[in-house]
């Protein structure tokens, strides 16, 4: 027999959703059977799968230990505990992800990821104990490409994760990017509306003037901050969130990002050391419409400080090169 006590981070979930995360070796069909036959009880009684868990609830398991086997829960401790913190409190962490680091594991890297670095960092601070959590772990609420620098939002508890996901879904989070362009857009400030369809084979966004079957609307607002000859530093605000949106949209209007080899020829700027696109998710502004536990963040502006390509010196070098 095993028991689990439901803590604050696990509360509010449906029983079946919780069990799939807390007992990863248990097949879904067996889970339903064990609930029906009282091999899994909630507070000593038979429970429905749709029951919402509450803090202090007790789950009792009369099932084999083999179902509780998990992957190494501390694999992330092999990642560096290095996190560039833009802002942090008891609920959230805003991390400045460096270019070259992936946010989650992929086929090429399972250990040194942003989320693993954050978990290691929080363990070292005494703010996260994986052995003390049944189903919750600190989680990323947004993601950016490997070769893009910028702010990634981390939820440090379940309530914040739910609120931040709703905030992003309801477009109550304003995201701004800086990018260095080959060419100076005209006009120097505008909102672009086009349509895109992803080429899965090439992992590339194809942009169109008019709607296309299977396509999605793409809206990008840009503003030129500084320019020199044929180079421009722009601030971009995303109104939609499409694959490679900024890279594809700016290339479509004839001003591709410096260093971007997917949407332009980047051989020239590689001589200046640009190995990837000059793009940074550099600013966030929260705008929760309804009062909630994170409303204290409303109106605050969070920005990345060190952006290598944003200096006047780099702008001049690129402008002289193009």
Do 163 and 186 fall within a single domain? no
In this prediction, residue 133 carries a pLDDT of: 81
Do 157 and 112 fall within a single domain? yes
Cα-Cα-Cα-Cα torsion 258, 264, 269, 270, nearest 10 degrees, comes to 110
Could you say which of 49, 68, 87 is where a domain stops?
68
Q: Which domain holds residue 182?
A: 173-321
Do 209 and 281 fall within a single domain? yes
Enumerate residues 6+ apart whose C-beta is below 8 A from 156: 90, 91, 92, 93, 122, 127, 128, 138
| DSSP strand pairing (231-238 vs 216-228) | antiparallel
Give strand pairing partners of 78: none
Do 42 and 154 fall within a single domain? no
| Torsions phi, psi for 309 (to 5 deg) | -85, 0
Enumerate residues 6+ apart whose C-beta is below 8 A from 126: none
Q: Consecutive 10-residue runs of the chain (322 residues): their mean pLDDT? A: 87 89 85 92 92 92 78 78 96 96 80 93 93 85 93 95 92 95 97 95 93 94 97 96 94 97 95 94 95 95 94 96 92
Enumerate residues 6+ apart whose C-beta is below 8 A from 64: none
DSSP H/E element including 316 = helix 312-321
Do 21 and 80 fall within a single domain? no
Secondary structure of 246-287 in HEC code, one letter for each residue: HHHHHHHCCCCECCCCCCCCCHHHHCCCCCCCCEEEEEEEEC
CB 15, CB 51: distance < 8 Å? yes
Could you say which of 140, 169, 198 is where a domain stops?
169
255 closest CA partner among 178, 196, 203, 186 = 186
In this prediction, residue 107 carries a pLDDT of: 67
Could you say which of 53, 68, 83 is where a domain stops?
68
DSSP H/E element including 143 = none
Q: Three-state DSSP class for 226?
A: strand
Do 32 and 164 fall within a single domain? no
How many angstroms from the chain centroid is the CA of residue 270? 28
CB 178, CB 235: distance < 8 Å? yes
**Count of residues in the chain:** 322
Please give the Cα distance from 103 to 148 (Å, whole number): 11
Do 25 and 162 fall within a single domain? no
Do 228 and 126 fall within a single domain? no
Do 62 and 87 fall within a single domain? no
Six token digits for residue 176: 């701004």
Provide the domain count of the chain. Answer: 3
88 closest CA partner among 318, 283, 302 = 302
Do 88 and 110 fall within a single domain? yes
- DSSP 8-state code for residue 257: B
318 closest CA partner among 200, 196, 207, 226 = 226
In this prediction, residue 108 carries a pLDDT of: 67
Please give the Cα distance from 132 to 125 (Å, whole number): 15
Please give the Cα distance from 70 to 66 (Å, whole number): 9
CATH of the domain at 91: 3.30.2350.10
Do 99 and 206 fall within a single domain? no
Do 140 and 228 fall within a single domain? no
């Amino acid at each position: 027999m095993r028991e689990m006590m439901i803590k604050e981070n696990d509360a509010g979930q449906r029983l079946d959703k919780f069990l799939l995360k807390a007992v990863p070796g248990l097949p879904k069909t067996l889970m339903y059977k064990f609930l029906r036959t009282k091999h899994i009880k909630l507070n000593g009684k038979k429970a429905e799968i749709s029951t919402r868990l509450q803090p202090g609830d007790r789950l009792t398991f009369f099932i084999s230990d083999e179902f509780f086997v998990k992957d190494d829960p501390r694999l992330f401790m092999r990642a560096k505990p290095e996190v560039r913190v833009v802002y942090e409190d008891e609920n959230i962490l805003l991390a400045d992800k460096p270019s070259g680091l992936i946010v989650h594991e992929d086929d090429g890297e399972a250990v040194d990821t942003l989320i693993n670095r954050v978990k290691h960092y929080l363990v070292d601070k005494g703010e996260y104990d994986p052995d003390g959590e049944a189903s919750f772990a600190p989680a990323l609420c947004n993601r950016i490409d490997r070769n893009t620098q910028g702010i990634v939002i981390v939820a440090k508890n379940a309530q914040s994760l739910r609120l931040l996901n709703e905030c992003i879904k309801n477009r109550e989070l304003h995201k701004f990017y800086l990018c260095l362009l080959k060419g100076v857009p005209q006009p120097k400030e505008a909102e672009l509306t086009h349509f895109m369809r992803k080429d899965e084979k090439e992992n590339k966004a194809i942009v169109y003037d008019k709607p296309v079957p299977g396509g999605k609307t793409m809206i990008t607002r840009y503003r030129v901050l500084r320019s020199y000859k044929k180079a421009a530093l722009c601030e971009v605000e995303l109104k939609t969130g499409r694959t490679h949106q900024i890279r594809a949209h700016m290339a479509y209007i004839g001003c591709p990002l410096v260093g971007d080899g997917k949407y332009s020829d980047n051989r020239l700027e590689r001589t200046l050391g640009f190995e990837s696109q000059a793009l940074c998710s550099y600013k966030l502004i929260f705008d929760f419409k309804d009062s909630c536990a994170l409303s204290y963040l409303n109106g605050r502006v969070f920005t990345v400080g060190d952006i290598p390509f944003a200096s006047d010196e780099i702008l001049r070098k690129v402008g002289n090169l193009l």
